[in-house]
Structure 1
């Protein structure tokens, strides 16, 4: 496989995944970025706003607006960081956790047909390779 084919394959895969995520987000009144926020917070008890901003590649002010809107919907809550009172943590509320879990299930179902095209051994290999690509 040439580098061009690999780049094209990665780009096409990202388009399919982004389309699924965008559709699921819209069905749940979430932007793609808000969906990413829920995906990050789903497996964490609390996270510093600054860390969340870094993970998303956003300025703190942009993240503040996203968190404000989710907080108004009762999906997240802010609290002072236990170790640094100047820092603010954000966490999913029970409603937010329920939404994040449901949306994750919807994403899994949307991507399942693509995953199931591969034999189990190839699925494990792809998982391994994807995580290697994502290593810092």
Structure 2
């Protein structure tokens, strides 16, 4: 049996700092969403759909939740005119959820309200923000895109 290895002090500090950042961001995100009478989950789904239309299954995969949960969220957003369902041009059997213009406008408003994320990042130089982005991508098992715009 291999001896247990304990994380070094810097790793433990980084874990605590990431937890603090996530907690503060989540609280502010929920508050920003509430200004638009949305839950945090509704705002996250709407944010994904503002980027591109996608089927429920892919939304669920991105949010790491059950498709049935996504269906309920999309139903509520659709009732408010923020999301619409449309057939997939490549497979007419598949329905895509897509943000409406009102939904995209709502997403922009929620994002504008996120001072917590913007203010600390504003203290970093453009180069430092690029390094942070690339390190976070590596932590998630993704490679930074070559030639990605750092601005």
Partner of 2:139: 133
Matches within 5 A, 1:1-136: 2-44=10-52, 46-107=53-114, 109-136=115-142
Deviations 1:92-133 (A, max 9, x none): 1111111112212222x3422211233443222212212222
SS of equivalent to 2:86: strand
Deviates more, 1:71-80 or 1:118-127: 118-127
Give the RMSD, CA atoms, in angstroms. Answer: 1.6
Instruction: Provide the aligned length of Structure 1 versus Structure 2.
Output: 134
SS at match of 1:82: coil
With normalisation by structure 2, the TM-score equals: 0.80
Structure with the greater alpha carbon radius of gyration? 2
| Structure with the bigger percentage of helix | 1
The unaligned stretches of length 5 or more in structure 2 are 1-8, 143-151
